[in-house]
Amino acid sequence: MSVWSRIVDMAGRAFDPEAEPPVFGQECAPQVNDVGFTAAVIGLAAKMARADGEATDYELHAAAQVFRPPPGEEWAFRRAFELAKQTVLGFESYAKQIGRKYRARPCLLEDVLDGLFHIAAVDGFPGEAELAYLEQVATHFGFSELEFRRIKATNLGPDAGDPYAILGLLPGASMDDVRHAWRRAAAENHPDRMTQRGAPPAFVAIAREKTAAINAAYQRIREELSVGAK
């Protein structure tokens, strides 16, 4: 029985806000047959899609792009998504479970958030309810307000006049801090690194967009600081 078929078998209780949250294994990274992690991630995706009041087929398609079901199991993925989207209740238990389990793997947690941002933006710029949901998930994952600001900016673009957010900095940072943050962010989000990790094409595309945003933010800050130094 595949992981997706097993999810459907357990979906009646896995996505029930009154039920016990999934129990994860002891592995540091999610494994192919880690049904609890997979169910929790699909639950977060589906409930995020419902955060604005209606989960659309566009969001289901985006979720399938990010969290690729294997060939022949698309029906099971759809069934699990449909069950999970019935209500946004219970999403905190999923986020807390993943956050506790993978706190030492922030790259994995950020991947999940990137996927959720991808789904949220598929039908237009995310609304207030979706952004509030994403921020709550990020908090349960253990990300600080500044880290969420960076992740949001690299996925949706910075607020007007704030390229510092993309690099995870506050306005007024020194050029040395800016350069260090740029190098770290560029290395962590490079598309080749995603490819080497075996990430699906949707995540590689997200990495390309994030890298472009990171480089543009660095260039803008460098030009602003250069002008200010004259």
What amino acid occupies position 145? E
- Report which of residues 62 and 16 the model is more confident about: 62
Identify the structural domains of the chain with CATH numbers, from first to last.
1-143 (1.10.3680), 154-230 (1.10.287.110)
Query: What is the predicted pLDDT for the residue at 27?
Result: 39
95-112 pLDDT, tens digit per residue, is 998 888 888 888 888 888
Which H or E element spans position 2? Answer: none
Which CA distances in Å does 150 have to 123, 163, 209?
A: 22, 10, 14
Determine the Cα–Cα distance for residues 21 and 36; give it in Å rounded to an integer.
8
Over range 65-75, report the average pLDDT.
79
Task: Check pLDDT > 80 for residue 88.
Answer: no
Asked if 168 and 124 touch (Cβ cutoff 8 Å), the reply is no
Query: What is the predicted pLDDT for the residue at 2?
Result: 45
Note the pTM of the prediction, 2 decimals: 0.66
Over range 189-201, report the average pLDDT.
80
